[in-house]
């Protein structure tokens, strides 16, 4: 009798858990590769995309990270150009705000950067202002990423 009760409880728990609402990841989560970048400073726009570098951005449900390195054949990794950063983010509708907790250049750490994002198919576009008074930086950036397929 006890075995039948255990089986009934197990079946009921399984049935109820399969009815539970499953959370799906936001479309922004995933790995993205930078395919274009434009900066506007004082009414002048110019491309900041460098085809000699490769950059990816990884976005989890709570954090983001970006990695940028020179693409080349140099075997001496101590000479390689590399930058990386990351932290937490918030997303409210199309407003994506990065809280940069870590970065290769410490002067950028502990700053907030707000972007408007748009996702169309496998393309993510983000536009926002990078402003760091201490460094004399005040510019609008537009970055376009392509989703990296696993």
How far is 30 from 147, CA to CA, in rounded Å?
7
pLDDT value, residue 150: 72
**How large is the average pLDDT for residues 72-82?**
73
pLDDT value, residue 12: 45
**CA separation, residue 72 to residues 51, 79, 82, 104 (Å):** 11, 11, 12, 20
**CATH superfamily of the 24-147 domain:** Uncharacterised protein PF14869 family, DUF4488 (2.40.128.490)
**How large is the average pLDDT for residues 46-60?**
92
pTM score of the predicted model: 0.79
How far is 51 from 87, CA to CA, in rounded Å?
26
Place 29 in a pLDDT band, splitting at 50, 70 and 90: very high
How far is 59 from 57, CA to CA, in rounded Å?
6
Parse the chain into domains and list their residue ranges: 24-147
Place 17 in a pLDDT band, splitting at 50, 70 and 90: very low
Biggest CA-to-CA distance, the chain: 81
């Amino acid at each position: 009798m006890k075995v039948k009760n255990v089986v009934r409880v197990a079946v009921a728990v399984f049935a109820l858990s399969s009815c539970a609402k499953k959370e799906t990841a936001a479309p922004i989560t995933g790995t993205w590769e930078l395919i274009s970048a434009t900066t506007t400073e004082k009414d002048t726009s110019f491309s900041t995309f460098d085809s000699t570098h490769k950059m990816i951005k990884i976005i989890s449900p709570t954090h983001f990270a970006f990695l940028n390195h020179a693409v080349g054949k140099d075997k001496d990794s101590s000479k390689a150009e590399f930058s990386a950063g990351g932290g937490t983010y918030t997303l409210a509708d199309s407003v994506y705000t990065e809280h940069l907790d870590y970065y290769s250049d410490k002067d950028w750490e502990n700053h907030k950067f707000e972007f408007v994002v748009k996702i169309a198919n496998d393309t993510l576009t983000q536009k926002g202002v990078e402003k760091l008074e201490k460094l004399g930086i005040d510019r609008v950036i537009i970055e376009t990423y392509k989703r990296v397929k696993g």
